[in-house]
C-alpha cells in the first residue's frame, strides 16, 4: 500500500460541475496538499445515456480555473489508470466473475416492472423496500427459461444478513441493522457496473486511503464495506461531509440561485474567494478567521474540525468575501480582470490611465466583477438617467436650483475642470448660497450621475470635463 495519503474526486460527466460537488473536490484537494498526499481526478462515466465528453472537458476547465491541480487522472496520467471508468469495463467484469465463481453473487432475471411492483407492495405494508432474494437459488433450468424469454440478467451481491459497522472520521461509529440491506445490483443487465461496485474496485486498485465525500453517500457505505470484505480487502478511511443546504434548509438547487461553478466564473467571482468560502462550509479555522488564503487553508486543514451540522449556502456571505478579495487585488490586475466585461458591454473604453481612475472609484463597491458594467455605466452614457424618486425630488427643490445657478455661473471662471477646481467651485457655491454638507453636494451628484449615492464626485467631474458637467447641470436645472 502506498504510504502517502491518496484521495480522489470522482465526478460523473453528466452536466456542469455543481457547487456542492466542487466543495467535495476542494476538501479532498486541501487534505491531499496538507498531508503531502496524492489528489486523483477520476471520471465516473458509466451512465452512457447522460455522460458526455463535453461535460468531462467542462469539469477539467472548472477545476483548472479554481486552481485545483490533480496529480493523477485522465489527462495527467499515473500508474493506476485508466482513470475513466468506461475504459475499465474488463476490470469490473473480471471482478464480477470472481464473485460469481465464489458464490458471493448471482444472476438476477427480475425485470424493472416486476421489481417496481414488489417495491410498491413493501411500501404499502410498511416495510423498507429491498430485494427479496428470489433469484438467489435459481436452477439452471429456470435460468435457461428466463434467457429464452430474452431477459438480460443483472448480477446481484449476496449481502450478509448482519449488522454492518464502520468508523467515520466525521460522524464516528455508524451502524446499519441487518434488515436495512438487501441483495444489491453489481452489474446491470446491459453489462455496465453500478456505482457501488465500480467505486469499490477503483478505490482499492487505485490505493485510495481516504474517501471524503458528501453525507448523502452514507447509505452507500455499508454496501461498499461488505464488498471490501467479500474481496478480502481493507476498506479506506471514510469521512462524510455534511450537505450544503439553501437558506430554506432544503438541498441546494437552482431555486436558490446559481449552482454551477462556471456560472460563478462567468459572473466574476475570484477562484480564491470561492475556494475560501466553500472550504468554510462545515469546516473552520482554529483561529476563527474567515479570510484565509490558499496557503493558510492548506496549512490549517484538519478533518477533526469538520462540523456535523449541515452547511447553509449564503450568497450574501460569498459576495462579501469575494468583495474583500476584489478590493485586495492590485489595481492593474483588477483592470485586466474587468476588461472582458466592459468590452462585452460594448463600451468605448478610454486610455488605460483614465480607465484605471474609473475602476479605482468604484472598486470598493464591487461584490463580483460583472457589476463593473453597471458601476461604470455613468461614464459611458451622454446623460445618466434620473429615475430614482429621491433623486428626482432632490433636483426639484428650490435650494437645488440655487446651487445649480451658482455652479453654472462659477464654472465660467475655469478653463478646465479637474478634481481640485471642482472642490474650489463647490466652496464658492457654498459661500454664495449658504447651503452646506449633503444638501450642497447631493443635487450636484444627482445632476452628474443620476443617483444620490456614487463614486467620489470631484473625480467624476474631472473625468466628465467642464462641458459635460455644464450640460448635465443645465439638464437638471430644467427639471426643476
What global pTM score does this model have? 0.90
156 neighbors 109 (Cβ within 8 angstroms): no
DSSP-assigned states of every residue in 337-362: HHHHHHHHTT-----HHHHHHHHHHH
Task: Find, among 313, 436, 449, the residue nearest to 377 by Cα.
Answer: 449
Task: Confirm if 267 and 323 have CB atoms less than 8 A apart.
Answer: no
How confident is the model at residue 258, as a pLDDT? Answer: 62
Is residue 416 among the annotated active site residues?
no
DSSP 216-230: GGGGGHHHHHHHHHH
In order of their start, the domains of the chain are 88-241 (3.40.50.620), 389-479 (1.10.10.350)
CA 119, 120, 124: angle at the middle one, nearest 5? 120
Write b or e for each residue in 58-81: b if 16 or more Cβ atoms lie within 10 A of its Cβ, otherwise e.
Answer: bbbebbeebebebebbbeeebebb
- Show pLDDT as tens, one digit a residue, over the chain (480 residues): 457 899 999 999 998 899 989 999 999 999 999 999 999 999 999 888 899 999 999 999 999 999 999 999 998 999 999 999 999 999 999 999 999 999 999 999 999 999 999 999 988 888 888 898 899 989 999 999 999 998 999 999 999 989 999 999 999 999 999 888 889 999 999 999 999 999 999 999 999 999 999 999 999 999 999 999 999 999 999 999 999 988 888 887 666 666 889 999 999 999 999 999 999 999 999 999 999 999 999 999 999 999 988 889 999 999 999 999 999 999 999 999 999 999 999 999 999 999 999 999 999 999 999 999 999 999 999 998 888 888 889 989 999 999 999 999 999 999 999 999 999 999 999 999 999 999 999 999 999 999 999 999 999 999 999 999 999 999 999 887
Which of the residues 254, 267, 402, 438 is marked catalytic? Answer: 254
CA distance 401 to 409: 12
88: nearest Cα among 200, 7, 254: 200
Amino acid at each position: 500500500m502506498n504510504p502517502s495519503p491518496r484521495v480522489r474526486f470522482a465526478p460523473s460527466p453528466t452536466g456542469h460541475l455543481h457547487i456542492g460537488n466542487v466543495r467535495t473536490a476542494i476538501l479532498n484537494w486541501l487534505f491531499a496538499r496538507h498531508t503531502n498526499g496524492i489528489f486523483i481526478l477520476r471520471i465516473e462515466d458509466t451512465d452512457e445515456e447522460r455522460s458526455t465528453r463535453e461535460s468531462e472537458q467542462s469539469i477539467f476547465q472548472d477545476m483548472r480555473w479554481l486552481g485545483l491541480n490533480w496529480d493523477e487522472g485522465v489527462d495527467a496520467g499515473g500508474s493506476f489508470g485508466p482513470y475513466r471508468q468506461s475504459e475499465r469495463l474488463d476490470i469490473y467484469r473480471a471482478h464480477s466473475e470472481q464473485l460469481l465463481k465464489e458464490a458471493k453473487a448471482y444472476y438476477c432475471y427480475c425485470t424493472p416492472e416486476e421489481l417496481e411492483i414488489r417495491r410498491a407492495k413493501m411500501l404499502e405494508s410498511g416495510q423498507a423496500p429491498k430485494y427479496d432474494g428470489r433469484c438467489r437459488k435459481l436452477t439452471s433450468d429456470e435460468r435457461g427459461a428466463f434467457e429464452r424469454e430474452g431477459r438480460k440478467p443483472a448480477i446481484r451481491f449476496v449481502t450478509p444478513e448482519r449488522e454492518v459497522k464502520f468508523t467515520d472520521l466525521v460522524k464516528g461509529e455508524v451502524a446499519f441493522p441487518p434488515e436495512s440491506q438487501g441483495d444489491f445490483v453489481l452489474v446491470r443487465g446491459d453489462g455496465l457496473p453500478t456505482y457501488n461496485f465500480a467505486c469499490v474496485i477503483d478505490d482499492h486498485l487505485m490505493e485510495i486511503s481516504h474517501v471524503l465525500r458528501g453525507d448523502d453517500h452514507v447509505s452507500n457505505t455499508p454496501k461498499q464495506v461488505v464488498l471490501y470484505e467479500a474481496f478480502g480487502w481493507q476498506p479506506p478511511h471514510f469521512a462524510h461531509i455534511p450537505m450544503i443546504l439553501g437558506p430554506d434548509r432544503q438541498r441546494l438547487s437552482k431555486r436558490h440561485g446559481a449552482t454551477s461553478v462556471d456560472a460563478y466564473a462567468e459572473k466574476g467571482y475570484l477562484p480564491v474567494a470561492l475556494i475560501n468560502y466553500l472550504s468554510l462550509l462545515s469546516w473552520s479555522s482554529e483561529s476563527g478567521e474567515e479570510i484565509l488564503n490558499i496557503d493558510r487553508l492548506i496549512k490549517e486543514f484538519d478533518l477533526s474540525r469538520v462540523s456535523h451540522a449541515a452547511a447553509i449556502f449564503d450568497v450574501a456571505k460569498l459576495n462579501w468575501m469575494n468583495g474583500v478579495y476584489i478590493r485586495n487585488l492590485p489595481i492593474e490586475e483588477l483592470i485586466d480582470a474587468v476588461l472582458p466585461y466592459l468590452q462585452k458591454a460594448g463600451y468605448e473604453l478610454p486610455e488605460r490611465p483614465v480607465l484605471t481612475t474609473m475602476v479605482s472609484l468604484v472598486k470598493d463597491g464591487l461584490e463580483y466583477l460583472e457589476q463593473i458594467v453597471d458601476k461604470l455605466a455613468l461614464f459611458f452614457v451622454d446623460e445618466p438617467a434620473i429615475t430614482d424618486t429621491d433623486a428626482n425630488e432632490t433636483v426639484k427643490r428650490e435650494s437645488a436650483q440655487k446651487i445649480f445657478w451658482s455652479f453654472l455661473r462659477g464654472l465660467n471662471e475655469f478653463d478646465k475642470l479637474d478634481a481640485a477646481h471642482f472642490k474650489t467651485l463647490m466652496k464658492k457655491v457654498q459661500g454664495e448660497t449658504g447651503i452646506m454638507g449633503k444638501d450642497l453636494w447631493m443635487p450636484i451628484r444627482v445632476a452628474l450621475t443620476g443617483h444620490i449615492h456614487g463614486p467620489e464626485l470631484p473625480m467624476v467631474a474631472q473625468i466628465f470635463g467642464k462641458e459635460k458637467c455644464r450640460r448635465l447641470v443645465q439638464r437638471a436645472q430644467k427639471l426643476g
